[in-house]
Structure 1
């Protein structure tokens, strides 16, 4: 498999993962229209937050806003799960891992977080109506 095929395959995995996660979020019986609006808003802002503030700062911000089972708890767990897949690491605190990385490793994780968050943004915009 050449590099172009691997990139396309990885992009499809991002798309599928983000679609499935948002679909599960929307089917959760505890989610109301207000939570859906906030999730749409958070997903729309996520790529820019990561780009402007850095991955570590953004994850800390999301974790700070997490108060149980709200849109921030979903986003944090989705990003953490995806980033742990980079090295087939199925668990562990992603913030602890990011702090120990060198610059090139941190850059790779940041780029990957931006790529997956773009898919969350796309799917949230298409799956969650703006005027609920």
Structure 2
């Protein structure tokens, strides 16, 4: 069996994340948020975006996107089992500049795949 290319790993994880929510009531809001996630990271920075998502505790779509982002980013960058938003925030706060840029680059690549998969897998209208 051939080894997966790195982009396939991003795509597979994003696909699994989207498929976990595609039959939920909040799927349209999740799709809308996933579509905005790359631009949120670009415009505001990764740590600010993570803090914003965390601040929306009552919103299931924000909670899920943050969980998906934290799980992937910590798995991808640390090869560890920690996948909480708290652990992600600690990593981002205490990383040096080059590490922070790396985390941002990985998060953006994942966010783009999450956006693509949400557009492809979640049918229906977008909600804000």
Same-fold call, TM cutoff 0.5: yes
Give the aligned partner of residue 61 of structure 2: 71
- The farther-off stretch of 88-97 and 112-121 is 88-97
Query: Residue 101 of structure 1 aligns with which residue?
Result: 95
* Structure label with greater radius of gyration: 1
Task: Tell me by how many angstroms 1:37 deviates.
Answer: 1.2
From 22, 25, 38, the equivalent of 1:26 is 22
Which residue of 13, 16, 32 corresponds with 2:12?
A: 16
Give the CA deviation at 1:9: 1.5
- 1:113: which partner in 2? 107
Alpha-carbon distance, 1:131 to partner:
3.0
- CA distance in 2 between counterparts of 1:37 and 1:76 reads 16
The SS at the match of 1:19 is: helix
Does 1:124 pair with 2:114?
no
Unaligned stretches of 5+ residues in structure 2:
none
Taking a change above 3 Å as real, the CA distance of residues 26 and 130 of structure 1, as seen in their structure-2 partners, is closer
Structure 1 residue runs without a partner (length 5+): 1-5
Q: Provide the aligned length of Structure 1 versus Structure 2.
A: 120
Q: Distance in 2 between matches of 1:98 and 1:75?
A: 17
After superposition, the C-alpha distances for 1:27-82 in whole angstroms (9 at most, x for unaligned) are: 4xxx22xx1110111000000000110000000000001226x1111111111111
- Aligned residue number for residue 48 of structure 1: 39
Out of 49, 62, 73, the residue aligned to residue 58 of structure 1 is 49
